[in-house]
Amino acid sequence: MSSKTKIVVLHMKELIYTGIFVALGILFIVLLVIMFLPGKDSKEQSSNAPGATEPSGATDQEPEDDRNAPVSSDGIYIPGIYTTQLVLNDQTVDVEVIVDSESITSLRLINLNESITTMYPLLEPTFDSLCEQIYEKQSVNNITYETENKYTSLVLLEAIKNSLEKARNSITESDSADSSGKTE
């Protein structure tokens, strides 16, 4: 019997490099799958008046939650989700504002697709910059922006203001007329 024993020597350094490359390869494949799968953003929302736009490109929508919530004297806002629709080159992007009774809890761009981000590359970075300031100040007053982003910032701020106006907790007109106009 002539069998020759072969000895394989594996260096620890080679095993570690191989493991790292395998892990990076798997991570790369997972990222590719996530990037190229269609998103859940394809759900379209209907607007109150199709085709109608305001001069700033923003159209209002009713709040998605708490539509029949009573107005109370506690807090600044009526808690809920409020959206304003921006029309950009016949495509819509919704600016979503989520508030609780005292503060702005979330700001998001909804239905933002690749064609809009390609046509308006400053939209997302400008929105993120505005969001940071709004979260910090809890107000849309005294917000600063760069001059190169002026018009993008103004359109986004107007949409955020429209959503916050819908969320404002104010006394109804009939209540204010009763309290100020009656004398007995």
Identify the pLDDT of residue 29: 95
- 0.75 cut: is pTM over it? no
The answer to the question of residue 36 being in a domain is no
Q: Is 47 a domain residue?
A: no
Domains held by the chain: number:
1
Q: Average pLDDT of the chain?
A: 76
Q: Is residue 2 part of a domain?
A: no
Region 51-64: what's the mean pLDDT?
42
Q: Would residue 107 count as lying in a domain?
A: yes
Q: Which residue range is the domain that position 142 belongs to?
A: 58-167
Residue environment code for 42-53, b if the CB has 16+ CB neighbours within 10 A, otherwise e: eeeeebeeeeee
pLDDT of residue 30: 94
Q: Any idea of the CA torsion for 121, 124, 126, 128, to the nearest 10 degrees?
A: -160
Q: Would residue 153 count as lying in a domain?
A: yes
Tokens of 84: 């304003």
